[in-house]
């Protein structure tokens, strides 16, 4: 075998996962190369969040491998996975409601175990609304503002790969548009992103490549452009 390809940053191989006796993932395989934005698309309950939680170590897989730069990290603790350079933005936007925007970021900066370019100043530049809101408590932010703060907090840990779980969920269309612009800017700065989404338009506007998950297995994979251009295929895969 010849090694012509550069090693992917993340390679999930035949991943199986379960909540107790309830099996959820049945051999998921996917890859993310450095600098790519890859989207995991799929309807409610197909296993998008579970895939991310397995990568992060919140749910140790029952089978398969999770290769991070070639090292199998399956079963590592969430803390260790984060230190290795994977940042997770969960779908429920866990910010501190009682702390201000600045305090939320400061806590994240102090907790960061990795050096890198992401400082409070840098995330303020990426999300210009945040410095305007720096004194506001998390609990008084809108859904879109909370989402931006959640992403900003995760960036403070200087991840090399960002797992974004349903960033557009529950947000008004205009807010989703704004978020899209910011995530695009982040990608342009070289961030590698694995996105989980039910929002087809949002994901196809961002992603380079797409995996469609169905009942815990990968049903389709291809360039995002293919799904963008082919409505029949899109309808077929996502029944929209």
Ligand X SMILES: Nc1ncnc2c1ncn2[C@@H]1O[C@H](COP(=O)(O)OP(=O)(O)OP(=O)(O)O)[C@@H](O)[C@H]1O
Site string for ligand X, 107-146 (x = CB under 6 A): ----------------------------------------
Question: Residue 203's binding partner, choosing from ligand X, Mg ion, none, with beta-carbon cut-off 5 to 8 A by kind?
Answer: none
User: In whole angstroms, how close is the CB of 98 to ligand X at the nearest point?
Assistant: 26
Instruction: Please name which of 97, 111, 99 lies closest in space to residue 155, comparing C-alpha atoms.
Output: 111
Using CA atoms, how far residue 54 sits from 74, 169, 196, 203, in Å, is 8, 21, 14, 21
Q: Which does 45 bind (CB under 5 to 8 A by kind): Mg ion, ligand X, none?
A: ligand X
Alpha helix segments (H runs only) across the chain: 48-56, 78-84, 101-111, 120-126, 129-132, 143-155, 173-188, 200-206, 224-229, 231-238
Contact partner, 152, from ligand X, Mg ion, none, Cβ < 5-8 Å per class = none
- C-alpha dist (Å) from residue 107 to 80, 156, 212: 19, 9, 36
Q: Number of residues in contact with Mg ion, rule: CB under 5 A?
A: 2
* CA distances for 220 relative to 25, 50, 55, 228, angstroms: 15, 18, 20, 14
In the complex, the smallest distance separating the C-beta of residue 87 from ligand X, rounded to whole angstroms, is 18
The site string for ligand X over 175-214 (x = CB under 6 A, - otherwise) reads: -----------------------x----------------
Site for Mg ion in 42-71 (CB under 5 A): 48-49
Among 7, 14, 19, 231, binds ligand X (CB under 6 A): 19
- Nearer to Mg ion (CB atom), residue 8 or residue 87: 87
The correct pick among 7, 14, 23, 45 for binding ligand X (CB under 6 A) is 45
| Residues 208, 140: Cα–Cα separation, whole Å | 35
Length of the chain as a residue count: 240
What does the per-residue mask of binding to ligand X show for 47-76, with x meaning CB under 6 A? Answer: xxxx--------------------------
Binding mask 5-44 for Mg ion (x = CB under 5 A): ----------------------------------------
Are residues 110 and 99 in contact, defined by beta-carbon separation less than 8 angstroms?
no
Residues whose CB is less than 8 angstroms from the CB of residue 99 and which lie 6 or more positions away in sequence, other chains included: 107, 137, 138
Instruction: Give contact residues for Mg ion (rule: CB under 5 A).
Output: 48-49
Instruction: Give contact residues for ligand X (rule: CB under 6 A).
Output: 19, 22, 24, 42, 44-50, 166, 198
């Amino acid at each position: 075998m010849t090694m012509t390809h550069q090693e992917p940053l993340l390679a999930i191989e035949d991943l199986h996962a379960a909540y107790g006796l309830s099996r959820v993932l049945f051999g998921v395989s996917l890859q993310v190369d450095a600098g790519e934005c890859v989207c995991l698309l799929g309807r409610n309950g197909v296993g998008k969040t579970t895939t991310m939680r397995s990568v992060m170590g919140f749910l140790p897989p029952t089978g398969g491998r999770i290769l991070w730069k070639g090292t199998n990290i399956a079963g590592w603790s969430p803390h260790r996975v984060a230190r290795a350079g994977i940042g997770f933005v969960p779908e429920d936007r866990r910010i501190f409601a009682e702390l201000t925007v600045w305090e939320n970021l400061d806590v994240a900066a102090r907790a960061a175990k990795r050096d890198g370019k992401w400082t409070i100043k840098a995330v303020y530049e990426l999300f210009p609304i945040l410095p305007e809101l720096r004194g506001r408590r998390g609990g008084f932010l809108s859904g879109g503002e909370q989402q931006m703060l959640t992403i900003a907090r995760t960036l403070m840990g200087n991840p090399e790969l960002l797992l974004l779980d349903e960033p557009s969920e529950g947000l008004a269309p205009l807010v989703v548009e704004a978020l899209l612009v910011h995530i695009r800017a982040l990608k342009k700065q070289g961030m590698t992103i694995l996105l989980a989404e039910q929002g087809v338009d949002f994901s196809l506007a961002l992603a380079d490549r797409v995996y469609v998950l169905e009942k815990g297995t990968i049903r389709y994979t291809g360039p995002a452009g293919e799904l963008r251009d082919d409505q029949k295929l899109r309808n077929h895969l996502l029944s929209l």
